[in-house]
Amino acid sequence: MAPESKVPALEVHDLTVAFDRKPVLWNIDLTIPQGKIVGIVGPNGAGKSTLIKAVMGILSLSSGYTRLFDQSINDVRHRISYVPQRESVDWDFPASVMDVVLMGRYSKIGLFKRPRKADRDAALDCLKKVGMEAFANRQISQLSGGQQQRTFLARALAQHADIYFMDEPFAGVDAATEKTIINLLRDMTNAGKTVIVVHHDLQSVKNYFDWVIMLNTRLVASGPTEETFTQENLHETYGGKLTLLADVADLIRRENYPQREKKL
Amino acid sequence: MNSLVEFFSFSDPNIRYVVLGSVLLTASSAIVGTFTFLNKRSLIGDAIAHAVLPGICLGFIVAGTKNPLVLIIGAFITGWLSLVVVEYVTRKTRIKEDTAIGLVLSVFFGIGILMLTVIQKSGNASQSGLDHFLFGKAAALVGSDLYAFLIVASILLVVVYIMFKEFALLAFDKAYAKSIGYPVRTLELILTSLIVLAVVIGIQAVGVVLMAAILITPAAAARFWTDKIVVMVFLASAFGAFSGLSGAYISFVAPAMPTGPWIVIVISTIAFISFFLAPKRGVISRLIRQRNIHQTINNENVLKVMYQLGEENKNFFIPRHLDEIIRRRKYEKPTLHTILRRLLTYGYVEQTGSLWSLSEEGKNKAQRVVKIHRLWELYLTTYMKIAPDHVHEDAETIEHLLTPELEAELEKQLGYAKLDPHHTQIPYSN
């Protein structure tokens, strides 16, 4: 392996994120090696989506910093790819499957330029990988849930990135799509890519992921699945509600307190 | 007829100004409005329209005359300011955006009306006509207005042309746009500026109150006709241009008729027609589709009953009386008669006197429905572990719905089973 791959894919230092001043993630510290399929698990409201959005700079951080391949996010944008939650967009938008997958080429095409023929070829190629080439001209409002997810996946693939962030790609998809997706993810990690997946279904964690991040507004554990995905950690993640922490968060919001004191 | 020729020859410069002005601003507002519509921020246009009034008054106070450029700059400033305030209020307080828009709209408009009244009472002779901004007066457009319109409309068109891909992505998936490092804030800023510009020129024709209509209505109407964003933008601008032209023509033929309100009436009519008549998305086409589904279900149910009766007699082609069918499945006699007559025109049944029998094709069609019904019951009991006495109702709907592909898949998955959960034979076609 090239020495480059010794560099961690993702490093998170003392990351805190707040919505409307209410902290939803507290002091997260973690490191993810390259070439792994990583699952982020935790109960509803644990901050799973928030974590990946914060890492990608979609949300602003209250404190801490993140590094990807030991560089700051803005220097490696072309190496990251994002699959948002399926419900986060309006599927009644006037666009075809091809239009959506072409978006995956936008960072390569650059601002204010039109997609070229080569971009269409690349998009079609990615549609083939997810078994959707027959749907290229289909209106996106006519897709089933699984097909929508495959379309998003094809868009992410079209970016040819090195690290992929996926928000619940398995939510509400049929068994065939789930299988297609997991096989694709395995191919990707075999090729040295890193895939970080927000995941809901605890049953499949051991089968799907090499590495697991267990989250409940704070980091419970992060490490290889074998050692980390234990009864004890599960209990800590899903069991006792951190009522005191939640109460303090609410208090900060109500009283309009700054998340961090300003440094002089 | 004469007026039509006179109007469309555009020989009168006044007609030229009014027509060109109206078309320019309706078409360009419609293009920008399409993105407002797709961003689901239709109300924003209304807020800006009301908020430009104090800016126009300020511009007049500064310039002392109705210099269009100064007025536009003034309008642009307060239009923008209103948006900044809406965003600030939404972000910093717990007031939601719709409330913030309502507040900002009325506060800015109130200040505008106040200033307008003061100016009107000031005795400055050149102020007359300033109140056109309230209700619009396209018929009063003159050459210098037109130049300002032309410039603004070209800016709108060029910017939208260049940034089409970016605006579309922003409307569809903003988080993704951020993730690939697009300058989302800047792009939003540009789009908002375009809306403000469109509003600033638009209100001179239709006025503050009706501005939101020419911004949003063309896009809303166009959405009914197409699923392609490019087509949608062109359609919206065509609808806008047509309404501008018609508004100008109507007020030319009947001088008592105001242009602006007529523009809005025409565009609303187009939207109304689209709402009802558009293929696929229109209300009427939806109703027709529902009626067709309803008819198919009725047709297939009657055929099914006749088939089941045939199964009992081991002969599918015995002519039957209506009562025999009704004993199996409740129908009003006239309804059943209508359905049978329809089936007759399709060739699925034959009539001899008051007796009805299945045709060969009718039998095949019924057989398929019965087969799918029983296969689905079997599927539910084997794969979903649902009790056999619960599966009938589900199968009743599925039997009319399944596509041939799904039908084949179902047959394959169940291994062409011979009996359904109630131990009845499943009939295959060969």
Residue B5 inside a domain? The answer is no
d(CA B420, CA B401): 19
Question: Same structural domain for residues B102 and B136?
Answer: yes
Considering only the beta carbons, identify the residue of B169, B182, B227 that sits closest to A94. Answer: B227
Question: Same structural domain for residues B381 and B258?
Answer: no
Contact (CB, 8 A) for A106 and A159: no
Contacts of B81 (CB under 8 A, 6+ apart): B51
Confidence tier at B421 by pLDDT (50, 70, 90):
confident
* Residue range B267-283, pLDDT digits in tens: 999 999 999 999 888 99
* Residue range B182-213, pLDDT digits in tens: 999 999 999 999 999 898 888 877 888 889 89
* Helix-helix angle B68-92:B42-63, to 10 degrees: 130
Question: Same structural domain for residues B287 and B272?
Answer: no
Q: Is the pLDDT of residue B314 over 50?
A: yes
Annotate A89-107 with b (16+ C-beta within 10 A) or e (fewer). bebebbbbbbbbbbbbbbb
Question: Same structural domain for residues B255 and B310?
Answer: no
Question: Same structural domain for residues B376 and B313?
Answer: yes
Altogether, the residues listed in chain A come to a count of 264
Domain that holds residue B382: 282-430
Structural domain ending residue among the three candidates B254, B280, B306: B280
Map tokens 């699952």 to a residue: A39
Structural domain ending residue among the three candidates B280, B310, B332: B280
Give me the mean pLDDT over the B214-233 stretch: 95
Confidence tier at B310 by pLDDT (50, 70, 90):
very high
Q: φ and ψ at B12, to 5 degrees?
A: -80, 120
Residue B428 inside a domain? The answer is yes
* Helix-helix angle B229-253:B259-277, to 10 degrees: 140
Nearest-5° angle of CA B164, CA B69, CA B152? 20
* Residue range A89-128, pLDDT digits in tens: 999 999 999 999 999 999 999 899 999 999 999 999 999 9
Question: Same structural domain for residues B171 and B238?
Answer: yes
Q: Which has more pLDDT, A111 or B10?
A: A111
Q: Do B180 and A88 touch (CB under 8 A)?
A: no
Q: Do B181 and A159 touch (CB under 8 A)?
A: no
Least confident of A99-108, A143-152, A232-241, B314-323: A232-241
Q: Do A58 and B175 touch (CB under 8 A)?
A: yes
Domains of chain A (ranges; CATH) run 3-88+162-254 (3.40.50.300)
Helical residues (DSSP H) of B130-228, grouped into ranges: 132-135, 143-162, 164-172, 174-179, 184-223
Residue B231 inside a domain? The answer is yes
Residue B264 inside a domain? The answer is yes
d(CA B161, CA B389): 61
Confidence tier at A83 by pLDDT (50, 70, 90):
very high
Query: In Å, what is the CA distance from A177 to each residue of A122, A146, A147, A148, A150?
Result: 21, 6, 8, 10, 7
Q: How many CB atoms are closer than 10 A to CB B158?
A: 10
Q: Checking DSSP bridges between strand A194-198 and strand A163-167, what pairing results, if any?
A: parallel
Using CA coordinates, name the residue in chain B closest to A75.
B181
The pLDDT score that the predictor gives to residue A1 is 44
Query: Which H or E element spans position B352?
Result: strand B349-352
Question: Same structural domain for residues B230 and B302?
Answer: no
Annotate B112-127 with b (16+ C-beta within 10 A) or e (fewer). bbebbeebeeeeeeeb
Q: φ and ψ at B122, to 5 degrees?
A: -75, -20
Question: Same structural domain for residues B229 and B302?
Answer: no
Q: Please give the structure tokens belonging to residue A10.
A: 């993702």
d(CA B36, CA B172): 12
C-alpha dihedral sign at A105, A107, A109, A112: positive
Domain at B397, CATH number: 1.10.10.10
Nearest-5° angle of CA B48, CA B34, CA B211? 35
Question: Same structural domain for residues B115 and B262?
Answer: yes
Residue B316 inside a domain? The answer is yes
Question: Same structural domain for residues B234 and B265?
Answer: yes
Count, in order, helices (H) and strands (E) of chain A.
10, 9
Q: How far is A92 from chain B (nearest CA, A)?
A: 9
Residue B9 inside a domain? The answer is no
Domain at B95, CATH number: 1.10.3470.10
Q: Do B172 and A74 touch (CB under 8 A)?
A: no
Considering only the beta carbons, identify the residue of B172, B175, B181 that sits closest to A74. Answer: B181
Residue B8 inside a domain? The answer is no
Confidence tier at B92 by pLDDT (50, 70, 90):
confident
Q: Do A112 and B162 touch (CB under 8 A)?
A: yes
Q: Is the pLDDT of residue A242 over 70?
A: no
d(CA B195, CA B410): 53
Q: How far is A214 from chain B (nearest CA, A)?
A: 24
The pLDDT score that the predictor gives to residue B242 is 96
d(CA B15, CA A83): 54
A-chain residues near B180 (CB < 8 A): 77, 82, 106-107, 159
Q: Please give the structure tokens belonging to residue B234.
A: 């062109």
Q: Is the pLDDT of residue B428 over 90?
A: no
Q: Do A111 and B182 touch (CB under 8 A)?
A: yes
The pLDDT score that the predictor gives to residue A5 is 63
In 3D, which of A24, A38, A29 has the Cα closest to residue A199? A38
Contact (CB, 8 A) for A88 and B210: no
Question: Same structural domain for residues B327 and B259?
Answer: no
A-chain residues near B175 (CB < 8 A): 53, 58, 82, 84, 88
Question: Same structural domain for residues B161 and B286?
Answer: no
- Please state the domain count of chain B: 2
Q: Do A103 and B169 touch (CB under 8 A)?
A: yes
For chain B, the first-to-last Cα distance in angstroms comes to 69
Residue B310 inside a domain? The answer is yes
- How deeply is B159 buried, as exposed, middle or buried, from its count of CB atoms within 10 A (0-12, 13-18, 19+)? middle
Query: In Å, what is the CA distance from A216 to each residue of A31, A52, A240, B198?
Result: 17, 14, 10, 48
Structural domain ending residue among the three candidates B280, B303, B334: B280
Average pLDDT, chain B: 89
d(CA B355, CA A231): 72
Interface of A with B (CB under 8 A): 20, 53, 56-58, 74, 77-78, 80-82, 84, 88-90, 93-96, 99-100, 103, 106-107, 109, 111-115, 139, 141, 155, 159, 165
